[in-house]
Amino acid sequence: MAIHLTNPPPGLYAAKTPSQQQQHRPAGSHPAAAAAAAATVAMPQTASAASSSVAVKKNRQAAPVVVARRRTTAVESGGVALASVWREVQGERDWEGMVGTAAEELHPLLRGEIVRYGELVAATYKAFDLDAASKRYLNCKYGKARMLDEVGMAGAGYEVTRYIYAAPDLAAGPPCPSRWIGYVAVATDEAVRRLGRRDIVVSFRGTVTGSEWVANMMSSLAPARFDPADPRPDVKVESGFLSVYTSDDATCRFTCGSCRNQLLSEVTRLVAKHKHEDVSVTLAGHSMGSSLALLLGYDLAELGLNRDARGRAVPITVFSFAGPRVGNTAFKDRCDELGVKVLRVVNVNDPITKLPGIFLNENSRVLGGKLELPWSSSCYTHVGVELALDFFKARDPACVHDLEAYLGLLKCPKVTKEMKEGEDLISKAKKIVLEQSFDTWRWQMAAIQVGGLVQALGM
């Protein structure tokens, strides 16, 4: 038996009594997912009828995956508004009491915020121009003032202040042109009253272009060296992600400077502008975008750029969707030391979340819980708290890396138990095929990403 979540239209959640709640058990991983996701797209597709369950765990060595029971509730939980507990929702206490044990559920306010930031990431895909004849090809289709409106998020409560562009520096081949990778936005005055603070958001898309696919495959570790005064050569990150973050394209007609310089400049400007208010910095991304979000969070904290007028640290939170590992153990430890809070939403069947470091990772550093192995400093290690989902669709194995599938599962309040084999599965498959709908922009993105991967591999 496995838990399946159906996907009714998103709405408010109604609380259940403890006797009505059902505990979930993660289904086993599906081997077919690994082969399918190797050529899949880092792009939302469909999220209906996904086989699923939910678990949460802190990223500690040999820590057990703990299953969390699901509840549905309203925007306010027990009369508590988001504005009064926003620091806890942003991870001030590592989401203790919101995720973590079988007796406690994913807090409804936290669930709503995860979905909200996920939708701000999904906006980067919807606004991405896939028309090869367009002058904005592989960049944003809309101007900053109307981008969120054009993608159906007019009520998001944010004003986009800057677009961000990036290009990896690949050793072989011609220089790579910069492409639109995401945006910076700040909460409006109206949203501040609801959120309880001035929220600065940076949202990143995942891999699209051929050069980005190549960068994703550059899995060697390289020192980050973000602080010239204290380079910390032991803190290492994946060289491909570092290249996308730090490389500069002098020919870009939309902006100048590296992705890193653009981001540090804009985020520090906004922090300074609102230095007399309560401010938060929230970084969100999908797939490769979650790696860039984590690099930026570490960068801001390492340089001490997250300070308000009173010298207090401005909280930095990363919401990572389907994100790979980014750095080694020293990187993870330094992020923890600096107070960068990371909530990683992962699908246990998504192979991307197990890369890089499929062999050398946090689980292969220590022998017998005592002896640190010689290669421990070269082991990739996940950062932060993990919220583990479990979904897989036989008709569409590539869904395991789908942002829309992730969000659809988190929005879904209805839980049903169904058999995963025999006639139940066949009947369900037939129903899925008959009910299948197609979304043009998602299939366009799928085509362009698969084409980019083929080009990157030289096929």
Question: What DSSP element (H or E) covers 452?
Answer: helix 440-457
Range of the domain at 410: 82-357+372-421
Closest CA to 337 of 372, 308, 298: 298
Pairing relation of β-strands 179-187 and 198-204? antiparallel
In the annotation, is 290 catalytic? no
- Any domain includes 43: no
Are residues 345 and 443 both part of a single domain? no
- Any domain includes 54: no
Closest CA to 123 of 163, 159, 165, 153: 153
Are residues 345 and 440 both part of a single domain? no
In the annotation, is 401 catalytic? yes
CA 412 to chain centre: 19
Are residues 96 and 163 both part of a single domain? yes
- Any domain includes 61: no
CB 338 within 8 A of CB 230: no
User: What is the 3 state secondary structure string of 79-116?
Assistant: CECHHHHHHHHCCCCCCECCECCCCCCCCHHHHHHHHH
- Any domain includes 45: no
Closest CA to 126 of 201, 186, 182: 182
Are residues 161 and 188 both part of a single domain? yes
The pLDDT value recorded for residue 28 is 41
CATH code assigned at 258: 3.40.50.1820
CA distances from 64 to 22, 171, 177, 203 (A): 20, 41, 44, 31
CB 82 within 8 A of CB 74: no
> Which residue bears the tokens 């839980």?
415
In the annotation, is 350 catalytic? yes
CB 225 within 8 A of CB 314: no
- Any domain includes 20: no
Q: φ, ψ for residue 279 (rounded to 5)?
A: -130, 145
The whole-angstrom separation of Cα 300 and Cα 294 is: 10
The pLDDT value recorded for residue 124 is 97
Q: In what order do the strands lie in the sheet with 385-389?
A: 66-67, 54-58, 385-389, 341-347, 316-321, 279-286, 198-204, 179-187, 158-166
The one catalytic residue in 248, 350, 396, 402 is: 350
CB 302 within 8 A of CB 227: yes
Are residues 446 and 318 both part of a single domain? no
The whole-angstrom separation of Cα 64 and Cα 90 is: 23
Angle at alpha carbon of residue 157, lines to 144 and 298, rounded to 5°: 75
- Any domain includes 126: yes
DSSP letter string, 367-429: ETTTEEPTTGGG-EE--SEEEEE--B-TT-GGGGG-HHHHHHHHH---EEEE-SSHHHHHHHH
The pLDDT value recorded for residue 251 is 74
Are residues 337 and 441 both part of a single domain? no
Are residues 99 and 186 both part of a single domain? yes
CA distances from 132 to 126, 128, 181, 448 (A): 16, 12, 17, 10
- Any domain includes 8: no
The pLDDT value recorded for residue 373 is 53
- Any domain includes 172: yes
Considering the entire predicted model, what is its pTM? 0.76
Are residues 261 and 381 both part of a single domain? yes
Are residues 342 and 432 both part of a single domain? no
The one catalytic residue in 4, 376, 401, 402 is: 401
Are residues 351 and 229 both part of a single domain? yes
Are residues 378 and 433 both part of a single domain? no
Per-residue pLDDT of the chain (459 residues; tens, 9 = 90+): 333 333 333 333 334 444 444 443 333 444 444 444 443 434 444 444 445 556 655 554 433 333 333 333 334 555 689 999 999 999 999 999 898 543 347 899 999 999 999 999 999 999 999 899 999 998 999 999 999 999 999 999 999 999 999 988 776 666 778 899 999 999 999 999 999 999 999 999 998 877 777 777 777 999 999 999 999 999 999 999 999 999 987 777 777 789 999 999 999 999 999 999 999 999 999 999 999 999 999 999 999 999 998 999 999 999 999 999 999 999 999 999 999 999 999 999 999 999 998 777 766 655 445 556 555 677 899 999 999 988 887 677 778 999 999 999 898 744 322 323 333 433 443 344 344 444 544 444 444 444 444 344 343
Are residues 304 and 334 both part of a single domain? yes
The one catalytic residue in 51, 258, 287, 291 is: 287
DSSP label at 337? H
Tally of structural domains, the chain: 2
